[in-house]
Each structure stands twice: as C-alpha cells, then as structure tokens.
Structure 1
C-alpha cells in the first residue's frame, strides 16, 4: 500500500444493502458457532501450502485465505517493550479465525534496518523476524513475506539505488533497480539470506518452514520509466527463477496491484483510471512467468477513483474482483489473492458503517467464487492493529477490540471459509453431496 494513492473518491452509502448485510451476519453467526477455525491439530505437524490448478491445498484439502496485513511486526519485535504487540495482533487475528498474515521481511538502510547496507545485516533485527515467524506458528497463522518495497517506506528500491550510487554506479532513476546488474545482485543476496535463514527460536530454516505461506517478490512493484512493462516483466522472470532455485517448496507471488497492461488491451477497461495502465505492470503477463504460483491484486477504490459522489465505487470493486478471478481461472489457471484491500477512515465519507459494508462486499464477492470452486484464493485486509499502536495508523487500521461489528464480519467470513477448507477435497471440486448443507449456510448472493 502507498497511502499517497492516485486520487480520492467520496462514497455513496447504500443503507438498504447495509441493513440486509447486518441482518445476514446476525443470522449466520449463530448457525456457524460450533465450527472450529483450526484446520490442523494443535499437536500435529504442519504441511506446506501447495497449489493444484486454481486452488490452494494443504494435505489434499482446499485452503482458502482469510487474512490481514500488519507490515510492522519485525520492527516492533526488536524492542522488548513493544514485542508484546506482535503477540497481541496474532491473538486478536486468531480469535476471529484469520489464517494468513502478510508482513515485511525487509527494512533496508533505515531505522532498525534489517539490511544495514548490501549484504550487512543486524542480527538483533533478524532475531526479531525469527520471533514473528515463531509467534505466527504458535497462533496457527501462516505468513506471506514480502522481500522489498516499491515505495520508499522501509527502504525499498530507492534505498538499493542509493547504495548503488554510493558505490559509484551511474544510476539515473529508482527504476534502475530493475535493470542494473549490481543492484539486482544486491536484491538476490537479500533473497538468499532471508530464504536460508535458520530461525533462532525453532532451528528451522525459512525455506523449510510451513509457517510461511509464501514469498512475495516486491510490495506493489511499478516501473514508470517503461509503460510497455518489459523492464518489470524481465525482472520478475529473473527473480522468480532465482527464488525457485533456492526454494521449490514455498509458493511465490509477484506483489503487483493488478493493473492490466499493454498485452491485454481488452482488459484495460477494468483499470480504475488511464494512469493505472501506464505504470509498467501487466496483470496477465506478469503472472504467466514460470515460477509464479498465484496472482496478486489489491483493492483501493478510495485512492484510485475520481472524486465523485456516486455508486461507481461499488460497481468498480465488483468488476475489478470478478475480472481478476475470471482471468485467474480461465487464462492463468491459478488462484488470485487480493493481498490488500481497504478504505481510509481519514476521509470523512468513510464511517464505520461504510467500512463494514465495503468489507462485506469484498468478502461476498470472494465467497461467490469459493462456492463455485473458482480461482478466488482469498483476500487480506489492510490492516489489523492491536490497541496501543494507533499512532502508526495510516487511516486504514482496524482495532478489533474497538470495532465489534467489523470483528463479527471477519469472524463470519472465517467460519464460512473453514467449512470449505474442512469439508471438501480438491478431487471433489464441489461435486459432492456436501454442497447441499453449504447452500443452507450461504446461498450465492450477487446483491451486495
């Protein structure tokens, strides 16, 4: 997420749909009360998340993601006085059944840097990341670990280029990150270091740890200097091959926002605006790379769309999600994960009522795919905070203890997905008799 965004939109609040949604939540929570969130025994061995066709799998059963982002976990784990916040957020996420957390496995050259300079690491910060992985495992939460940032927060590609310039390289743009051999070597060294890291709490190397759902090449990569998308495409190809040369066990994603590019002119209509098609990404092409296991897209209508009071945002979210789910199923034959979605509470148009409706709409669209056995692999809320960390709020944070209605929505989604995760095998592919009782819990609903 880059909170600067592309623009701001004011949202229309459809109260009738909201009332229907709230009543639906109340009716379903009681029905699902006896479902255990956990898909594996507490004392059992975890298995790696795998992909078969367009679905994630664990031990021969489907695994649909209901997750969250909390990017700062490693940073707060460094200091003993704030380390407890890491445990707090995992406890709260677990209490509503969230199964996957996306967080940073990088901090390049900044305060509490993991990588202080190319190939030079702070062992205390690495131990903090070890703690994060261990705490996630304790709470039965998988991790998507992103390996660097497109944005300047936590260093990212701009810091790599600064390091290159300091070493005497002739670099003219942050986008040289994607093409300069030395800079690419810096990134590869970081990848190798993280993947081969042996956790000081568990004595398990990261590349062998099933706590890790998968790796993400970069958070929201863009290459504005090349709207054709060729530079970024070549970089994804090279780095996907490199990651897989070290770790064939874990899944790998790109981290892109999902904008359609030049290779699919017929799909550009689904982009939020013209600029989105000129940032050097190309959703279909980016995910046809050998070694990429699942597709990535984000959802930020409040930052992407024009400042208009209308229902355009509702139709955009639906069409944006459905187009990516359809393409993942019909073209890519892989799951798609909406790795970030949210709306900012800093805009006065987005009260708690609207935010709950928006989250419910995203979940409902995902469930429609899940129920059909489609490519909707899951979505991750941006972002979950425990109490006492609101000073870092970018406007999107959700503190469950302060927002019980939101907690109920997350809990209901977790319970619904757990039915799918536990009651059908991949071979069944929704053709079994178990569909009938699933229909009673949540019939297909295209109204939200």
Structure 2
C-alpha cells in the first residue's frame, strides 16, 4: 500500500522520537489517525507534505494572530540573524521589548524574558513563594500551565487529551503543595484557603481557560479571586500564555478589568518563535536574581531572534488597534453561523467565544469547568474533526483545545469553513447514531 508523506514521516519519526512527536498535543491520540506533517504556511493557509492546503484554526496553538509568515516578523528575524542568532549577553532589543510590554500591559512594571510559557509559569510560582515565604499554591482542575511538576495535578491540554490528569514522575512532596480548586467556583477556593490558612503563596489560573476547550470566567469569578488574594495575602497569577495580547492589547486583564500581581506570557509575545515571559509589580519582581534572592536564569533568554520576532508582532498590534476589532468581528461571524448549523442539525452543544478564541462542546451540559467539559461527546468530535480535515479545514486535534483565529482569515475562508462544517456535522451525526 502506497503511503502518503505524513504516514511515511510518522512511521520514521516513531523510530527516533517518543510517540513520533515532540509534544503530545500533536499526536492525534484524541481523534485517532496519523498526524498531518506540514512544511509551509502563509496567512491562514497551511500546507502539508503532500501539497494539500488547509484553512488553519490552530495557528501554532495561538502565536499566529496575524497569520503565518507575517512579513514584518519574517523580515525582523532575517535582519537579526545577520548579526548573530545568540549572544548570551545583554542587548538593546531586550529593553525595547520590556518597554513595549509595559506600555501594552501597564501593571507589568518589570518583566523577565524566558524561553517558553512553561518556564514562565514555573518561574512565577517560585517568585511568589520567595516573595511570600509560603509554600502552597492553588490551581484549577483542567487549567494547564505547562509541564512543570507543580502543574501536572489534574491538568488540562495534552494531559487531559491523553486521559492522564496527573503524571508519573511528580513527587508526593510536590503534589502536597499543589491544591486543586474548581474553575468558576469561588467557594472551592475559599474552602482551600481556610483549610490552609497562612500557607498559600499564590493562586494561578488561566483567566479564560483554553486548555480544556475555551471556557470563559463566570461573572464575578476573577473579581472574587482578586479579593481573596488581597484578603489572604496571596499572589494572584494570571497565566496569559494564550490570552496575552490576543483578547486585547492588555490581554484578559484589560478585557475583564481585573489585574493580577504576576502575569505569564508566551505564544504571541514571540511571534511564533520559542519565548515566554513573566512580569508584574516592581516589589515582587525585585526578588528575582540578580536583584533579589530568587534564582532564575536562562542561557538563551532574550534571544535576539525571538525578541525581534516578538517586537515586530507586538508593535503591529500596538499600532493597529483596528486589528482587534476586525478579529473580533470575524470570530463572531464564525460563531453565530456555526451555532445556526448546530441548531439545524439538532446536535446537542455548548459553544463559547472570547475574542478570537472559541470552541464547541458536543454536550447538553452548560460547560463551565473541568467536569462539565468532560461530558463532551468525544466520538462525535473525532468524526467531525476528520470530516473537516478531509474538507480542508485544520482544527485542533482534540475536543479539549481552543480554536485560535488569525486576522489573515478572510470571509471567504470563513464561509468555506462553514460549508465544510455543514457537511461534516451531517456525516458525524449519522455515524454516531448508526
């Protein structure tokens, strides 16, 4: 049997790479089949190794808010590479980036660049512990903050997709200092704070969950967490790796007008290159080495290629506020018409959208947290995903991931997506019911 190139490459990859992929979210475990191997993309069209083109709703899991190969980002990386790919020493562009972040997110008085969102979240937790002198943290079931040990307790994203909310290799000592609350449930947070009075250093969350599907905060939830942190002298950490610079120039903080003590960034801040950052109030950030005693370091932190790419993308977003308006309008256009299709096909669903993030849950439940997200019909999603893929639409290969839209999407692409969805829903419903 003649294999397509993705099948051939996946067979080859499995000989040298665990599971054939370098991140579990790419493995198609949730939907079955062979992962698609891509080799180029432009705007919102992504092309696989066999030359097939797809309308992209993954966007490298969020960074490509202005589309793949965005010309100013490409030029910035090319120009920077002529000088060197890395110095391991201070550069002016790091200062320019820090200044730009502070302008766009005014409560981030100081910021430290790192190399991934995982590293940013790990560092923010360490800083919060060092600043408060406390050891325990509160996180939320189904929220994903990277693969740091403290976060792999009832986690979302790839851990949820693979059916492994906790990971072997995480020690009991680490686990006992990680307390899990229910997302969108302030009472569960208050209970944990009461039971661990004086021991909680920080509460960390995705202000809009994107790793168990797109789930927005209920009215008053973020405000309640802010008040609880003030009352219990805990650091409020917003993981804005996904939402930062996407939901508004100031991220979820600006959109919901709730301001954290520390914020973590990734994805968009690097323009598609590996990068992360954490920042916040000056008095908290001043405990970070070499200013303070909390050690954090990284050989490639502030890498000139990543800084150049991020600076180009963030500058475009800062200088063109209309981009956010256009992106919101396009995502709303898709959402409204997708709801009509789901109603026409009489399929149980709950659909959420916040800015340019959206997702569909095939369930009759109202999805507000980890447990209700898990009621989604995974078999229906699996069929829907492959039917969309066969029609040239690339969705996140998991029912527990947000879709990310880019401003490079045209209304013609959105209409083509809806046409594909109409056909895919009909096929998926028929197969599930048969």
Same fold (TM > 0.5): no
**Structure 2-normalised TM-score?**
0.26
